């Protein structure tokens, strides 16, 4: 009888996760200003929030399949604008995971796209990050920033299984697999 009389709801209000989510949806200028202020007051807290965030430059932490997956959902114009402001490492990771045809198209668009405002670059990068976050929420992309999650890559898992099979085959003296 007492259970039906009282119910308790534990809802987290605020905290590091909430702050990181807000910061992820903020423009870069404000994000930098807020981080500078938080760092000035509590560097450990600022670092904790940063670890929970995913920003455009963190694309380099994604596995190839995740990059290829989000590239299918991103608008070409957003990708071109985002790459205009991207560092070389991010650009390389993205181009390596594109088809040749898509890479040629994006490179041509980059060559002919001039006078892009920083605001437009940042907005395009934020839209791409939003696509990645949405895919993560649906389980289609895995973000492993910080290396805390251990992910078994199916390609390497299959490769290890093949090696194990070959070793077992050789030990049993059957087959002429020389892998």
Per-residue pLDDT, 136: 85
Looking at residue 89, what is its pLDDT? 96
Q: What is the pLDDT of residue 82?
A: 96
What was the pLDDT predicted at 179? 40
Predicted confidence at residue 16, as pLDDT, reads 85
List, as own/partner pairs, every contact residues 53-57 make where C-beta atoms lie below 8 angstroms and the sequence separation is at least 24, other chains included: 53/20, 53/23, 53/24, 54/24, 54/129, 54/132, 54/133, 54/136, 54/143, 54/145, 55/24, 55/129, 56/82, 56/86, 56/90, 56/125, 56/126, 56/128, 56/129, 57/86, 57/87, 57/90
pLDDT value for 94: 97
CA distance 89 to 7: 52
- Token digits of residue 136: 């993560």
Tell me the average confidence (pLDDT) per consecutive run of 10 residues in the chain, 179 residues long.
52 76 79 89 88 86 94 96 95 96 96 92 92 88 60 47 48 49
Give CA angle at 142 (140, 148), nearest 5°. 160
For residue 178, the model assigns a pLDDT of 44
Q: What is the pLDDT of residue 10?
A: 55
Spatial distance between the Cα atoms of 135 and 105, rounded to a whole number of angstroms: 24
Per-residue confidence (pLDDT) for residue 171, from 0 to 100 = 52
- H or E stretch covering 19: helix 15-24
CB-count exposure of residue 143 (10 Å: 0-12, 13-18, 19+): middle
Cα 97 to Cα 69: distance, rounded to the nearest angstrom: 10
């Amino acid at each position: 009888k007492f259970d039906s009389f009282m119910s308790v709801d534990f809802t987290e209000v605020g905290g590091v996760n909430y702050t990181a989510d807000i910061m992820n949806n903020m423009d870069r200028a404000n994000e930098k200003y807020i981080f500078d202020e938080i760092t000035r007051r509590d560097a450990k807290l600022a670092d904790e929030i940063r670890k929970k965030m995913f920003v455009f430059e963190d694309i380099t932490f994604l596995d190839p399949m995740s990059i290829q997956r989000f590239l299918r959902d991103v608008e070409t114009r957003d990708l071109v604008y985002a790459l205009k402001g991207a560092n070389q490492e991010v650009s390389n990771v993205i181009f390596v995971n594109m088809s040749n045809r898509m890479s040629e198209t994006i490179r041509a668009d980059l060559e002919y796209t001039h006078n892009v405002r920083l605001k437009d670059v940042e907005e395009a990068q934020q839209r791409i990050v939003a696509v990645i976050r949405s895919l993560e929420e649906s389980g289609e992309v895995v973000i492993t920033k910080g290396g805390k999650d251990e992910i078994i890559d199916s390609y390497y898992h299959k490769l290890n299984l093949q090696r194990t099979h070959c070793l077992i085959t050789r030990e049993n003296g059957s087959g002429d697999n020389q892998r």
